[in-house]
Structure 1
Amino acid sequence: MTAGRSRARGVATAALLGALLSTTAGCGSSPSAESAETDGPKSTWEEPASYSYTLTSSTQVLAGTFRVAVRDGKVTEAVGADEDSRRQAHDLPGEVPTIGTLLQTLDRARSEGADTAEAGYAADGRPVRISLDWDKNSIDDEALYTISSFEPTPG
């Protein structure tokens, strides 16, 4: 990837994050069960031994939508929803995280004083959205993860 493409992707990611955050900020005051907002303490949700979910990620490293299967705390399969995300899943298999890894990243961001470390949680306590910005004055360090279609699977 060239420096020009990297910078353009970072600017596009920052613009997307800004648009998404301003859109959600304008929503009504009663959060839905799937997106109750909090930027507080650690989640009490316990990651099941086996599950699948859909991850939409916009980060410098991983951008796209992926269907993810997890077993015993490890990603066992990640399939991209389009050509670019399929390529990323193939070329960067270790970059597709489990939900537990995303929660650890959120906790680390909070403990290290990131400028933004927020999450929205479903009624059962699992995260449905994680937004990170380590330094608001830096570009290319923002991350937005949307977690959907969560399903525990038989172990």
Structure 2
Amino acid sequence: MTARRSHTRSAATAALLGALLCVTTACGSSPSARSAEPNEPKSTWEEPSSYSYTLTSSTQVLAGTFRVKVRNGKVAGVVGLDEDSRRQAQDLAGEVPTIGKLLKTLNQARGEDADMAEADYAADGHPVRISLDWDKNSIDDEALYTISSYEPTHG
């Protein structure tokens, strides 16, 4: 009786492991499964020349939440929305990227075979989250960018 129960348990375990393997190797079309393919184009979204968005960044260089205005493809204004980001908006305004720059960084990480270079996208195709880690064995090379309140503007 024990041998039969063990065989049934082994079969169930194998089925569960197979299902988990299928999910983690991009079976299906969930955003996280799609992000496992490093060279796959993720979006047909084209960056407009003018827009605004809120960026929450946790990187070694830039940390905090910022309201960003982009005009003619360049950052035209940055407002820090918390204590750290208010200081950084003054001291490091040139480090605050456009969404296009974030996508270039994502593609660069993929091209350099970073250990992690993933993105999640909104229904219109713009990124809402970008996670990067060039080397999982290195400290302080991780980056997480969350994009919210994206609004295309005119002029």
User: Shorter-chain TM-score category?
Assistant: 0.7 to 0.9
Structure 2 distance, partners of 1:58, 1:111, is 22
After TM superposition, the structure 1 = structure 2 runs for residues 31-50 of structure 1, keeping only pairs within 5 Å, are 36-37=31-32, 38-39=34-35, 40=37, 41-42=40-41, 43-50=43-50
TM-score, normalised via structure 1 length: 0.76
- Correspondence for 1:106: 106
Pair 1:118 & 2:118 matched: yes
Which SS does the other structure have where 1:119 is aligned?
Answer: strand
- Correspondence for 1:67: 67
Structure 1: state its 5+ residue gaps.
1-28
Structure 1 residues 30 and 109: CA distance shift in structure 2, 3 A: closer
* Paired residues, number: 124
- Report which structure shows greater RCO (CA 8 Å, sep ≥6): 1
- Correspondence for 1:79: 79
Structure 2 distance, partners of 1:66, 1:85, is 6
Counterpart code for 2:142: E
Q: What's the CA shift for 1:30?
A: 9.3
Which SS does the other structure have where 2:45 is aligned?
Answer: coil
Q: Percent identity?
A: 76
Which SS does the other structure have where 1:79 is aligned?
Answer: strand
- Correspondence for 2:52: 52
Q: What's the CA shift for 1:44?
A: 2.0
Q: What's the CA shift for 1:154?
A: 1.2
Q: What's the CA shift for 1:79?
A: 0.5
TM-score, normalised via structure 2 length: 0.76
Structure 2 distance, partners of 1:77, 1:85, is 13
Structure 1 distance, partners of 2:105, 2:94, is 15
Q: How well do the aligned residues superpose, as a CA RMSD in angstroms?
A: 1.8
Q: What's the CA shift for 1:45?
A: 1.0
Counterpart code for 1:93: A
Q: What's the CA shift for 1:72?
A: 1.3
Structure 2: state its 5+ residue gaps.
1-27
Which SS does the other structure have where 2:109 is aligned?
Answer: helix
Which SS does the other structure have where 1:130 is aligned?
Answer: strand
